A and B are shown apart, each in its own frame.
Chain A
Amino acid sequence: MSSVSQYFSGLFTGIKSLMLGMSVTWKELWTKKVTQQYPENRGTLVISDRFRAELTMPHDENNEHACTACGICQMNCPNGTITVNSKMIETEDGKKKKILDTYQWDLGMCTFCNLCVLTCPSDAIKFENTFENAVFTRSKLMQQLNHEGSKLREKKKEPLIPKGE
Chain B
Amino acid sequence: MVLNYSQPLEISNLTSWLDSTLRGNLSEFWALLIEFVLVAVVLLTAYAVIALILIYAERKITAFFQARYGPNRVGKWGLLQSVADMVKILLKEIVRINRSDRFLFFAAPFFMIIASMLTFGAIAFGKGLHAIDFNIGVLYVTAVSSLGIIGVLLAGWSSNNKYSMIGAMRSGAQFVSYELSAGFALMTIVVLAGTMQFSTMIEGQRYCWNIFNGHISSIIAFVIYLISGHAETNRGPFDLPEAESELTAGYHTEYSGLQFGFYYLAEYLNMFIIASIATTVFLGGYMPIQVHGWDGFNQIMAYIPTYVWFFGKTAVLIFLSLWVRWSFPRLRIDQLLNLEWKYLLPINLVNLLLMVILVLTGFTLTGLFPGLF
Contact = CB atoms under 8 A, between A and B. Distances in A.
A35 B67 CA distance: 7
B294 interface: no
Nearest to A15: B223
A34 interface: yes
B324 A22 contact: yes
B337 to A, nearest CB: 15
Contacts of B327: 18, 21-22, 24-25
B134 interface: no
Given A11-B343, A18-B328, A21-B328, A31 B67 contact: yes
A36 to B, nearest CB: 10
A32 B343 contact: no
Contacts of B342: 7
A35 B60 CA distance: 13
Contacts of B68: 33-35
Nearest to A11: B343
A92 interface: no
B69 A25 contact: no
Interface string B65-82: 111110000000000000
Interface string A27-48: 0110111110100000000000
Given A11-B343, A18-B328, A25 B67 contact: no
Nearest to B328: A21
Given A18-B328, A21-B327, A24-B327, A29 B64 contact: yes
A2 B326 CA distance: 35
B17 interface: no
A26 interface: yes
B243 to A, nearest CB: 20
Contact of B69 (A11, A21, A24, A33): A33
Nearest to A7: B342
Interface in B321-366: 323-324, 326-328, 342-343
A112 B66 CA distance: 30
A34 B343 CA distance: 39
Contacts of A32: 67
Nearest to A32: B67
Contacts of B67: 28, 31-35
Nearest to A20: B327
B343 A26 contact: no
B69 A35 contact: yes
Contact of A29 (B65, B324, B328, B343): B65
Nearest to A37: B69
A116 B370 CA distance: 85
A108 B122 CA distance: 59
Contacts of B66: 28
B223 to A, nearest CB: 9
Nearest to A28: B65
Contacts of A33: 64, 67-69
B343 A25 contact: no
Interface in A74-97: none
B188 to A, nearest CB: 19
Contacts of A22: 323-324, 327
A7 B343 CA distance: 9
Contact of B326 (A7, A25, A31, A37): A25
Contacts of B65: 25, 28-29
A29 B64 CA distance: 5
Contacts of B323: 22, 25-26, 29
30 contacts: A7-B342, A11-B343, A18-B327, A18-B328, A21-B327, A21-B328, A22-B323, A22-B327, A24-B327, A25-B65, A25-B323, A25-B326, A25-B327, A26-B323, A28-B65, A28-B66, A29-B64, A29-B323, A31-B67, A32-B67, A33-B64, A33-B67, A33-B68, A33-B69, A34-B67, A34-B68, A35-B67, A35-B68, A35-B69, A37-B69
The 10 closest A-B pairs by CB, nearest first: A25-B327, A21-B327, A35-B68, A35-B69, A34-B67, A22-B327, A31-B67, A33-B69, A33-B67, A29-B64
Interface of B: 64-69, 323-324, 326-328, 342-343
Given A22-B324, A25-B65, A34-B68, 9 more contacts: A26-B323, A28-B66, A28-B67, A29-B64, A29-B65, A29-B323, A33-B67, A34-B67, A35-B69
